[in-house]
Amino acid sequence: MSQTISATTTAVSAATSTVGSALHASPAIDAAIRAIRAEVELKQRELTGARPPRGELKETLDGWLKRATEVRGRGPLYPYLGSGAGHGPLVELVDGSVKWDLINGIGVHMFGHGDPELVEASIRGSLSDLVMHGNLQFNHEAIEFGELLVAEAARNSRMKHCFITNSGCMANESALKLCQQKTGGAPRIIAFADCFLGRSTTMSQIGDTAAYRQGIALNILVDYLPYYDPELGQRSIDMALWHLDQLIHRYPGEHCCLVTELVQGEGGFNTAPREFFTALFERAKEAGIPIWDDEVQTFGRTESMFCFERLGLGEYIDVVTVGKITQACACLYTADFNPKPGLLSGTFAASTSSLVTGLSILRRLQSGGYYGPDGRIARLFAAYKAHADAFVAKHPQWFPPVTNSLGRTTKTVVGGHGGMMRLTPFGGNKEKIGRLLNNLFEDGVIAFSCGHGPYHLRLLPPVGVMKPEHFDEVFAILEKSFARTA
């Protein structure tokens, strides 16, 4: 019986095949893509480690940077312009230098530079008749992308639907609209100190960085809770609960959501235990306040695909946003938050190449052994921490105690979780860390900062391809750059 059904299905499929399906199954196209992929892999073999610029190419880089400054109005943060070639964690610039890229566009490129599978996926996506998918016209890739995200989220939560959009910031805008509509236009938002949600007019006001809203008309009502302080433990939880109770009492029925990053990104790779969130989420739920989980930076980067899975928080989450490593961004929500027509829409959702590449990434994450306490991401963080702890022990003069904005001092200078790694040198001094970042770039490591005082060295290595042994060369460069800075 099953053979008959299979044969019938095949016959129907063949009889109703489209020009599009025939195009994508073309042996000639397959052969061409295999040839391109082989050539990419051949050239990548020349990139084996960090190397300095080639003198004769410096003028080329300087010229491009001048053009970038003129067209944008200010210069780039680093003298960075890629040549278009890379090999996993390594990237070549137009001056011929090769760097260890440990920031990856603030975490976008989980599989580094020039990953052959993603090159192939991107080429196959480019064959589509649609360069961009949107609200009115889309192909099957958009449906499959949304289905995969919902299926993964629904394993440990109530997520039911997915809206695809063109940036993490717009995913967050969509989440806020869902929460506002669900609560009848409640005007206030509860967020955490040191949070970051994007740079739209609204998200800049919710995010707790004064510089990002300088000169913007302030028309968003935001109330901040203190984030977890590991030095205080249970007292930190009690303090946050007290603040939440005060807000609920002061503004009854006026909060549309409580939004949180389960690991704060821009704020300093701050982490909190499950009991911190459950205490606050339960109190918020009692008051009818929806829970929005912003995973634009954490998604895929901890010991589970969704960070709420790792902490067992799925039952509380009403809306979750993802982006960066997914290539196309999305807002997921429960059936109860399915909006009225017209609330969520957009001319652009994502390019076909982004969707096909994102699907390739998600499927690799599903089956590549990345998650769990002994997964590739956990092992990579363990390797980082071992190197960082030894580095701090070897050079204690570079790592004095750190004082936070509330005057509390800690000797903990190695932190983060999973693929989000943090090191706090020079007491968290902003100027010295800025000089360190410039020296690291010159010496062959691309990193960034995070935090608002104290400041930290932030690493977002390409956890899809970074190997524990790569930290040997990275920390050798760090030692050289730290010595120059100190």
Instruction: Give one DSSP letter per residue of 320-373, joined into a string.
Output: EEE-GGGSSEEEEEEGGGPPPTTSS--S--EEHHHHHHHHHHHHHHHHSS--ST
pTM confidence score: 0.94
- CA neighbor of 478 nearest in space, from 449, 450, 436: 436
Q: Distance between CA 421 and CA 415 in Å, rounded?
A: 6
- DSSP tally for the chain: helices H, then strands E: 16, 19
Task: Give the closest residue to 322 by CA, choosing from 348, 357, 298, 352.
Answer: 298
* Burial tier of 282 (Cβ tally within 10 Å: 0-12, 13-18, 19+): exposed
CA atoms within 13 A on the CB side of 251: 17
Distance between CA atoms of residues 80 and 107, nearest Å? 16
CB distance 291 to 316 below 8 Å: yes
> How far apart are the C-alpha atoms of 261 and 328, rounded to whole Å?
19
Phi–psi pair at 437, nearest 5 degrees: -60, -40
Q: Which residue has the tokens 């499950």?
A: 274
Q: Kindly state the DSSP code that residue 57 receives in the 8-state scheme.
A: G
Q: Using CA atoms in the order 154, 160, 164, 169, what is the torsion angle rounded to 10 degrees? A: -80
Q: What is the C-alpha separation between 253 and 174, in angstroms, rounded?
A: 21
Contact status, residue 101 vs residue 112, Cβ threshold 8 Å: yes
Tally of CA atoms within 13 A in the half-sphere of 233 that contains its CB: 1
Q: What's the rounded Cα separation, in Å, for the pair 108 and 325?
A: 5
Nearest alpha carbon to residue 236 among 226, 248, 223? 226
Cis peptide leading into 454, omega within 30 of 0?
A: yes
- For the packed helices 27-44 and 116-126, what is the interaxial angle rounded to 10 degrees? 140
Q: Say which residues have a Cβ less than 8 Å from residue 282's Cβ, sequence separation at least 6.
A: 316
Residues whose CB is less than 8 angstroms from the CB of residue 434 and which lie 6 or more positions away in sequence, other chains included: 449
Query: What is the reported pLDDT for 16?
Result: 61
Q: Which residues of 201-211 are buried (b: 16+ CB within 10 A; e: fewer)?
A: ebbbbbbbeee
Neighbour-count burial of 27, counting CB atoms closer than 10 A to its CB (0-12 exposed, 13-18 middle, 19+ buried): exposed
Q: Domains for the chain: give ranges and CATH numbers.
A: 19-114+373-486 (3.90.1150.10), 126-367 (3.40.640.10)
Q: Decide if 142 contacts 303 (C-beta within 8 A).
A: no
Low-confidence ranges of the chain (pLDDT < 70): 1-16
Q: CA neighbours within 13 Å on the CB side: how many for 159? A: 33
Residue linked to tokens 């606050």: 280
Closest CA to 153 of 285, 294, 309, 277: 309
- Helices (H), ranges, 183-255: 201-206, 234-250
End-to-end CA distance of the chain: 76
- Helix, strand, coil shares, percent, the chain, to 5: 45, 15, 35
Task: Residue 176: name the closest of 161, 194, 189 by CA.
Answer: 189
Query: Nearest Cα to 149, choosing from 372, 353, 419, 365?
Result: 365
- Closest-CA residue to 321 (of 190, 118, 178): 178
Please enumerate in sequence order all residues whose Cβ is within 8 A of that of 165, keeping only pairs 6 or more positions apart, or say none: 171, 174, 329, 330, 331, 346, 349, 350
Helix (H) or strand (E) holding 420: strand 420-423
